[in-house]
């Protein structure tokens, strides 16, 4: 299996599905985080936007090392994403190169425009990557399934469909999150506390110590278990 987690900013993929990613990576599957932007405009007062971009990419690399995954950050600008053919083509081409079986991304309802656009980009790229009529650098067509995952900014109408047991991975997940300055130092939101509590609450519902959740595109059935449906870890 190849798993790709696509986030609007460095940090989104990790907080939403970092424990799931680690679970599959340590089981021997190929896992990649793709960040459309660095999320650089949330810079601290004493750090420039460009300096913070470099810092966040460096932090993302440390997180990836802890979780045992690969990471890619594209060069789009934070808070300036648009849904157009250029970015859809670029992401579709990247997906043909990475050949994921499953992609995880933002839920489609969010208070952050970049998150909403990221979900739409992943959906549009799914079609373009999967249709052989599109010539994307001569790469063969590749179709992938995708899920939405849980972010505190994307909670409108987010009701989990899939609960994944990440009890054995959660401490490593928390260690990885601590590599991000914004997660440990934000004065506007208690990221670390929220995601630790969220994993605990979702674990209670799943009857496990910790869990992370996924959501199918609307209209599919709820499933609970220890793995992504169809890609169980024995």
Assign 1 to helix, strand or coil.
coil
Residue 234 confidence (pLDDT) above 90:
no
Nearest-angstrom CA–CA distance, 179 and 99 = 28
**Are 142 and 95 in contact, with CB atoms under 8 Å apart?**
yes
Q: Span 25-40, mean pLDDT?
A: 98
Q: Tell me what pLDDT residue 200 has.
A: 98
Question: What are the extents of the domains in the chain?
Answer: 2-225
Element (H, E) at 37: strand 30-37
Per-residue pLDDT of 136-162, as tens digits, reads 999 999 999 999 999 999 999 999 999
Per-residue pLDDT of 162-198, as tens digits, reads 999 999 999 999 999 999 999 999 999 999 999 999 9
Q: Span 221-230, mean pLDDT?
A: 71
50-to-43, 44, 76, 78 alpha-carbon distances in Å: 9, 11, 12, 11
Radius of gyration, alpha carbons of the chain: 17
Q: Span 58-78, mean pLDDT?
A: 98
Per-residue pLDDT of 79-110, as tens digits, reads 999 999 999 999 999 999 999 999 999 999 99
Question: Confidence class of residue 221 from pLDDT cuts 50, 70 and 90?
Answer: low
Q: Tell me what pLDDT residue 61 has.
A: 98
Q: Tell me what pLDDT residue 225 has.
A: 74
Residue 220 confidence (pLDDT) above 80:
no
**Are 234 and 195 in contact, with CB atoms under 8 Å apart?**
no
**Are 182 and 63 in contact, with CB atoms under 8 Å apart?**
no
Sign, CA dihedral 24-28-29-31, equals positive
Q: pLDDT > 70: what percent of the chain? A: 97
Q: Tell me what pLDDT residue 211 has.
A: 98
Q: Tell me what pLDDT residue 222 has.
A: 58
Nearest-angstrom CA–CA distance, 54 and 230 = 37
Structure tokens of 10? 């460095």
234-to-25, 83, 112, 228 alpha-carbon distances in Å: 14, 39, 37, 12
Q: State the residue for tokens 């420039």.
A: 48
Q: Span 5-18, mean pLDDT?
A: 98
Q: pLDDT > 90: what percent of the chain? A: 92
Residue bearing the bigger pLDDT, 220 or 95: 95
Q: Tell me what pLDDT residue 81 has.
A: 97
CATH architecture of residue range(s) 2-225: 3-Layer(aba) Sandwich (3.40)
Structure tokens of 20? 């799931």
Q: Tell me what pLDDT residue 224 has.
A: 67
């Amino acid at each position: 299996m190849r798993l790709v987690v696509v986030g609007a900013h460095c940090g989104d993929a990790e907080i939403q599905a970092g424990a799931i990613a680690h679970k599959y990576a340590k089981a021997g599957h190929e896992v990649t985080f793709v960040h459309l932007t660095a999320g650089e405009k949330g810079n601290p007062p004493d750090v420039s936007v460009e300096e913070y971009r470099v810092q966040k990419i460096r932090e993302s690399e440390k997180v990836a090392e802890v979780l045992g995954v690969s990471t890619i950050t594209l060069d789009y600008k934070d808070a300036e994403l648009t849904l157009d053919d250029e970015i859809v083509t670029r992401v579709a081409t990247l997906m043909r190169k990475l050949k994921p079986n499953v992609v995880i991304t933002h839920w489609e309802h969010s208070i952050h425009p970049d998150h909403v656009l990221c979900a739409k980009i992943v959906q549009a790229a799914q079609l373009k990557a999967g249709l052989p009529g599109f010539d994307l650098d001569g790469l063969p067509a590749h179709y992938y399934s995708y899920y939405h995952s849980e972010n505190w900014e994307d909670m409108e109408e987010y009701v989990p469909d899939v609960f994944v047991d990440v009890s054995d991975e959660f401490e490593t997940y928390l260690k990885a999150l601590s590599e991000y300055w914004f997660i440990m130092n934000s004065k506007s939101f208690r990221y670390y506390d929220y995601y630790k509590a969220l994993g605990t609450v979702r674990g209670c519902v799943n009857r496990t110590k910790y869990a992370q959740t996924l959501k199918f595109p609307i209209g599919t059935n709820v499933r609970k278990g220890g793995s992504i449906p169809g890609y169980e870890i024995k």
